[in-house]
Amino acid sequence: MDDRFLAYKVLSKIERDKAYSNIAVDAVLNQNEASSAPFVCALVYGVIERKITLDYYLSQLLTQPIKKLNPQVLTILRMGVYQIKYMDKVPVSAAVNESVKLSKKVKCGFASGLINSVLRKIASTEIELPNTDNKIYDLSIAYSCPENLVTHYVNDYGYIKAEEILKASVGAVPVFLRVNTLKTTSNELIDMLSNEGITAKSLGNGTSLEVVDGGAVFKTESYKKGYFHAQDLASQDCILNFAPKKNDVVFDVCAAPGGKSFTMAQMMENQGEIYSFDLYDHKIKLINDGAKRLGINIINAQIGDASVYNPDLPKADKILCDVPCAGLGVIRRKPEIKYKDFTFVDKLCELQYNILENSALYLKEKGVIMYSTCSLSNKENIEICRRFLEEHKDFKNGGMVTSFPHEKGSDGFFYAILIRE
């Protein structure tokens, strides 16, 4: 099936149903054969990621406000502009002509002339991004980020760091792997992947690799045989600093899909007990399936509400609270996040605090809690931990770390080590 038509279907579903991009992409690609799945994915994620910038370009050439455009026509125009501005391997003629064909295919032929005219002007006109006295507005257009979210980053981290965060929120997304040290070594895995057409490089710590080039790494025999699992570098660093040991009893209270539990099991040399909790059966299945593939047998995955105390559970040496969050550190992976209405964050913070406080009830004396999020928000991170330390004098601060995506190429991430004295 035509790749641009598939991309159009996905984008229309995301706009219409507020669907998650990764779920919508997978659903369409599983139901339809694409000649180039990478092209479909690049076009879909690119249009979502750059939507505000794309609309700015269009607004400079349209005679009517964007809001008055037919939604289908707007989607086609955004796709066309993205191909012209950001996909170097797509000729302008192909971007224009295929957009016109697409309009007719989806019964928007009435707008084919408009689409043809506007896209040709986009290709031939030098449109500069705004440089005004309103820095928030300028950053919003340049990095396709709503002004309220730009303001949030500026308030928490200042203009310079906010712009660095925004720069890192668009463009290529790195793929990091965690070597399964129960089965292989970093160098051995690099060789195995090379034989399967994947180029990966070691990041120097003996357990982390970055995929540099190649195809679908998660369809390789190396993956099927459990020699690695996917895990962002910041998440790996978090667990390395958590440092679970052999024979520890460890809780992972919001565990799915299980990456942090898997890394802890490997660090524990598959000796001890890890209780991995989540709310739903299908998420527990994800954890169990991953543990089986990796050859891990110390993970006890079960349904559990992290905010409600269960007196039947044992005490733990270490507890990981990787709580539900706004996801402001993973926008480049899930670009639709940035267009959300973040009024829900206050309620989310109360849930985060309840999970942290409830988890402390399971902790042994001299035990350690690791509180973490993949969000860049002081309200969700530092303020939660400061409140906890203020209200629980038997705990001390073992350190708080924020990882920014422009520093190591990792996701935005926060963790705090809270030690019971």
pLDDT digits (tens, 9 = 90+) for 124-140: 999 999 999 999 999 99
In this structure, the answer to whether residues 141 and 74 fall within a common structural domain is no
Q: Which domain holds residue 114?
A: 3-124
Average pLDDT over residues 241-262: 97
In this structure, the answer to whether residues 345 and 249 fall within a common structural domain is yes
In this structure, the answer to whether residues 296 and 317 fall within a common structural domain is yes
Tokens of 59: 């607004």
One-letter amino acid identity for 214?
G
Does the residue 208 lie in any domain? no
In this structure, the answer to whether residues 155 and 97 fall within a common structural domain is no
Q: Is the pLDDT of residue 17 over 80?
A: no
CATH code where residue 39 lies: 1.10.940.10
Residues 392, 61: Cα–Cα separation, whole Å = 59
In this structure, the answer to whether residues 157 and 251 fall within a common structural domain is no
In this structure, the answer to whether residues 15 and 146 fall within a common structural domain is no
Q: How, if at all, do strands 175-179 and 208-213 pair? A: antiparallel
Tokens of 172: 């290529």
In this structure, the answer to whether residues 142 and 117 fall within a common structural domain is no
Kindly report the average pLDDT of the chain as a whole number: 94
Which residue among 108, 238, 325, 374 is the active-site one?
374
Q: Collapsing DSSP states into helix, strand and coil, what is residue 50? A: coil
**Cα atoms found within 13 Å of the Cα of residue 261, Cβ hemisphere only:** 33
One-letter amino acid identity for 172?
A
CATH code where residue 265 lies: 3.40.50.150
Does the residue 213 lie in any domain? no
Does the residue 185 lie in any domain? no
pTM (2 decimals)?
Answer: 0.93
Burial class (CB in 10 A: 0-12, 13-18, 19+), 280: exposed
In this structure, the answer to whether residues 85 and 156 fall within a common structural domain is no
Element (H, E) at 349: helix 345-360
Does the residue 197 lie in any domain? no
Give 40-49 pLDDT, tens digit per residue: 999 999 999 9
In this structure, the answer to whether residues 237 and 144 fall within a common structural domain is no
Give me the residue label for tokens 């005004």. Answer: 132
Q: Is the pLDDT of residue 68 over 80?
A: yes
For residue 34, what pLDDT band results from cuts at 50, 70 and 90? low
Does the residue 205 lie in any domain? no
Q: From 124, 153, 177, give the residue that closes a domain.
A: 124
DSSP code of 32? S
Q: Is the pLDDT of residue 389 over 90?
A: yes
Residues 173, 175: Cα–Cα separation, whole Å = 7
Q: Is the pLDDT of residue 1 over 70?
A: no
Q: Is the pLDDT of residue 33 over 80?
A: no
Does the residue 217 lie in any domain? no
* Active-site residue flag, 374: yes
In this structure, the answer to whether residues 164 and 250 fall within a common structural domain is no
Residues 174, 22: Cα–Cα separation, whole Å = 16
- Residue 133: what are its φ and ψ, rounded to 5°? -75, -10
Burial class (CB in 10 A: 0-12, 13-18, 19+), 342: middle
Per the structure, how many domains does the chain have? Answer: 3
| Span of 20-29, 41-50, 191-200 with lowest mean pLDDT | 20-29
Angle between helices 71-86 and 3-17 (to 10 degrees): 130
| Percent of the residues in the chain that have a pLDDT greater than 70, as a whole number | 99
In this structure, the answer to whether residues 315 and 334 fall within a common structural domain is yes
What pLDDT shows up at residue 45?
A: 94
For residue 27, what pLDDT band results from cuts at 50, 70 and 90? confident
Q: Is the pLDDT of residue 90 over 90?
A: yes
How many residues are recorded in the chain? Answer: 421
In this structure, the answer to whether residues 57 and 139 fall within a common structural domain is no
Q: From 105, 124, 143, give the residue that closes a domain.
A: 124
Give 354-366 pLDDT, tens digit per residue: 999 999 999 999 9
Does the residue 214 lie in any domain? no
| Span of 61-65, 271-275, 361-365, 397-401 with lowest mean pLDDT | 61-65
Tokens of 117: 């005219």
What pLDDT shows up at residue 262?
A: 98
Tokens of 31: 């139901």
Does the residue 220 lie in any domain? no
